[in-house]
Amino acid sequence: MDEIAKKMAEIEWIYADKDPQALSILEEKIAGTGRKLGLITYSKLVEGVDFHLPNIRKGEAYSIQTYNWTGLDRAILGEFLGYTSTRSYREAGFMASALVVNSTGYEPSNQFFEWMEKLGVLPDNNKDTILAFWADQVHKAQNWYKAGRR
């Protein structure tokens, strides 16, 4: 196990490992996007997904209202994306959440890149380094999914 995978293994998830059905839906949407060699926005990703988390509304359905994102919404989705990337990295060496972007700049959120820096994936936060890393992750993810894996 490399250093990045070790750091990922140490993460204690609050939400992402508590709802396998929502995780499966999100991962399939990401995989479908990758198979089409595309990118998906955060809003499209969560569209129609009900989260059933024991620590939110006692497990009753919770859906993210994409017209009015809250801090909780961002925390839930961010963690599910981190967990998804942890799974894809451990299985195939890429960050699946690189395929998920905001609708304004059509790139991942700053939190994605901050997390990559915390994991030690990015040697610096130079714009060229960040863009090269992201492009590489998108390429790896799309190739993986296009090849029919997962």
Q: Which domain holds residue 139?
A: 3-146
Q: Who contacts 99 (Cβ-Cβ below 8 Å, separation ≥6)?
A: 30, 33, 34, 38, 39, 40, 138, 141, 142
Q: What is the mean pLDDT of the chain?
A: 96
Specify the pLDDT at position 125.
Answer: 82
Mean pLDDT value across residues 108-119: 93
Confidence of residue 112 (pLDDT cuts 50, 70, 90): very high
Question: Is residue 150 predicted with pLDDT exceeding 70?
Answer: no
Give the model confidence (pLDDT) of 15-35 as tens digits.
999 999 999 999 999 999 999
Confidence of residue 1 (pLDDT cuts 50, 70, 90): confident
* H or E element, residue 88: helix 71-92
DSSP class of 149: -
Beta carbons of 51 and 26 less than 8 angstroms apart: no
Number of folded domains that form the chain: 1
Specify the pLDDT at position 98.
Answer: 98
Question: Is residue 131 predicted with pLDDT exceeding 90?
Answer: yes
Under DSSP, is residue 64 helix (H, G, I), strand (E, B) or coil? Answer: coil
